[in-house]
Amino acid sequence: MPLDADAGFARDREFPKLLIRQDNVDLTIAALELTRDGNTDLDFADTLGWLDDRAAELAGPVARADNERDLLEALAGCLSGVHGLTGSAEAYRTPGGSFLPDVIASGHGIPISLSLIYMAVARRLGIALEGVAAPVHFLCRLDTAGDPLFLDAFSSGRVMDFDECLDWLENLCGLPREQAKSSLEPTRPRKIILRMLNNLKALYFDGESWKSALPVQQRLTLLEPASYAQRRDLALVTLKAGHPDRALGMLQSCAKTAPRDDLAALEQMIKQAHAALAAWN
């Protein structure tokens, strides 16, 4: 499946790097490319300028920090304390909770979008803050000469040492300690963007917002082309979004390799596509 010029992906600079599993990805730009799917006139400069301004604001406090914990607390003091960035339950219920410009404007986001903002400002200050795709809750990690430190952007930038974070994650997810420990390793950019896309997919599917779901599902299928489930969902969304002509071939292709449990539903969708096409004539 090639990059879809109609979906706007041809303008992307960072997303194509993910398709070939490169790690030299600017996650801020990649996240803004996802936002642009629903706002073709989005000006990245507004968000990038805001991030630059926060880094300039933090230059003094960071220079005066005595240690890595002080660095992270200064970062949280600026982004959460001064500018009000924090998590909220409402952010989980709206796509804006995943989009960096919306999070900056509203002050509310989900863990992964807030973490990307923290990471972007930190990078501008030379702080190697990395993403951690822990179960249920995305975090930031800063390696130090000793144990790493963790920052929970959703909880107003709370800083935790390694043992505190392990205890918290065990209680949150009910994971065995060794499994919790392995989930706290830094995460590659491709996995971060996949997680963002899957969050959006769940929201759009639940709300039956098929036109908004289409570019999200196209991106997921590009990233995981061997996944039958992603190809099936792309066929479904393409049909639901009003493109039976494009959906028909996808559905027929999926039917050739579908598990037995999926066949009846696929056959029904193929009939729907044929009926929609007949109505066009």
pLDDT tens-digit series, residues 185-222:
999 999 999 999 999 999 999 999 999 999 999 999 99
pLDDT for 160 beyond 50: yes
Among 247, 192, 245, which residue's Cα sits nearest to residue 218? Answer: 247
Distances (CA, A) of 197 to 7, 67, 223, 278: 15, 35, 10, 34
Average pLDDT over residues 22-34: 97
pLDDT for 178 beyond 90: no
Average pLDDT over residues 122-141: 96
pLDDT for 11 beyond 80: yes
pLDDT at residue 230 in the model: 97
- Residues of the chain above pLDDT 70, percent: 97
Distances (CA, A) of 274 to 174, 230, 247: 48, 22, 10
* 126/133 Cα distance (integer angstroms): 22
pLDDT at residue 8 in the model: 60
pLDDT at residue 188 in the model: 96
Q: In the predicted model, what is the mean pLDDT of the chain?
A: 94
Q: What is the per-residue burial (b if ≥16 Cβ within 10 Å, else e) of 122-131?
A: bbbbebebbb
pLDDT at residue 203 in the model: 97
pLDDT at residue 7 in the model: 52
pLDDT at residue 130 in the model: 98
Average pLDDT over residues 163-168: 93
Average pLDDT over residues 160-181: 89
**Maximum separation of any 2 CA atoms in the chain, in Å:** 73
CA 42 to chain centre: 18
Query: What's 81's DSSP letter?
Result: I
